[in-house]
Amino acid sequence: MPRFAANLSLMYNELPFLDRFAAAARDGFTAVEYLFPYAFDAHELAARLRGNGLQQVLFNAPPGGSTLADMAGAWDKGARGTAALPGRQSEFMAGVQAALRYAEVLDCPRIHLLSGIVPPGVERESLKDLCVENLRWAGAEAARAGREVLIEPINLRDMPRYFLNRQDHAHELLDAVQMPSVKVQMDLYHCQIVEGDVATKLRQYLPTGRVAHLQIAGVPERHEPDRGELNYPYLFDLIDALGYSGWIGCEYRPAAGTSQGLGWRDRALAA
Ligand SMILES: O=C(O)[C@@H](O)C(=O)CO
Ligand SMILES: [Mg+2]
């Protein structure tokens, strides 16, 4: 049976952020993920988790910035990660260290590392070695802290010139990194937009044990999974049949109210 985590950055956004924990718990979720915790005190977030019987299963390292205040504001200023960006290594390291400190307080096992926007005039290929070097460093830090770091292929329509877009490229990076603490976050919404053939990709990559987290949304609007071109009931059966026991993050923008749109989840859990 699939295990669904509410994404509190996209879901329940009719509520202030700190109120979304209770709303997710009221709707029956026992796990949450969100993009960034850095605008909040880690202990306040941990109290919301504990108070609502929730576990935190994923969040992102800062997309940029060297101080906590800069890290908290970087996404809104357009930053999309530094793992593959030349001249940004100290920022990348500071971000991973800040994320690991939050992960400890939040008792969160995995952190997504955004790789960044390819600078104008630079070839994507030329950034691979730097990305591998940074992932090795982050993988060692994460392993010391008992965590995993993940990389996620993201579509170019939502994030033009983003460094990592394809599942095979993510797995090539892992081939080079060769560390069990560095894994893939496979977002089926992005996978469908960039590559299609999602079921085949699941059959290819889930058995490798390198996919530590899945995410879902309807395609193309990124609404509920029962809207759009992907047949999620079929994919959930396949994910179960392939023995995946990790979390599936519900990373979608509810079309008309988060709780009202959860029928797809209730049907999946009843199937
Ligand atoms: O798919 C996404 O957009 C997220 O998982 C993310 O972390 C970056 O935006
Ligand atoms: Mg995602």
**Ligand 1 pocket member 215 (CB < 6 A):** yes
The Å distance, Cα 154 to ligand 2 centre, comes to 7
Residue of 32, 59, 60 with the most ligand 1 atoms within 8 Å of its CB, for mutation: 60
**Ligand 1 pocket member 7 (CB < 6 A):** no
What domains, with CATH codes, occur in the chain?
A: 3-270 (3.20.20.150)
Q: What is the ipTM of this complex?
A: 0.98
pLDDT over threshold 90, residue 256? no
Report how far Cα 113 is from the mean position of its chain's Cα atoms.
8
Active-site residue, from 33, 91, 152, 224: 152
pLDDT digits (tens, 9 = 90+) for 208-244: 999 999 999 999 999 999 999 999 999 999 999 999 9
pLDDT at 230: 98
State what percent of residues in the chain have pLDDT above 90. 99
* Placement of tokens 């070839």 in the chain: 123
**Ligand 1 pocket member 224 (CB < 6 A):** no
User: What is the distance between the alpha carbons of residues 217 and 148, in angstroms, rounded to a whole number?
Assistant: 24
Residue 178: both structure tokens together: 């060769």
pLDDT over threshold 90, residue 1? no
**Ligand 1 pocket member 251 (CB < 6 A):** yes
In sequence order, what are the residues at sequence separation of 6 or more whose Cβ sits closer than 8 angstroms to the Cβ of residue 61?
Answer: 81, 95, 96, 98, 99, 111, 112, 113, 114, 149
**How many CB atoms lie under 10 A from the CB of residue 166?**
15
Active-site residue, from 33, 148, 224, 251: 251
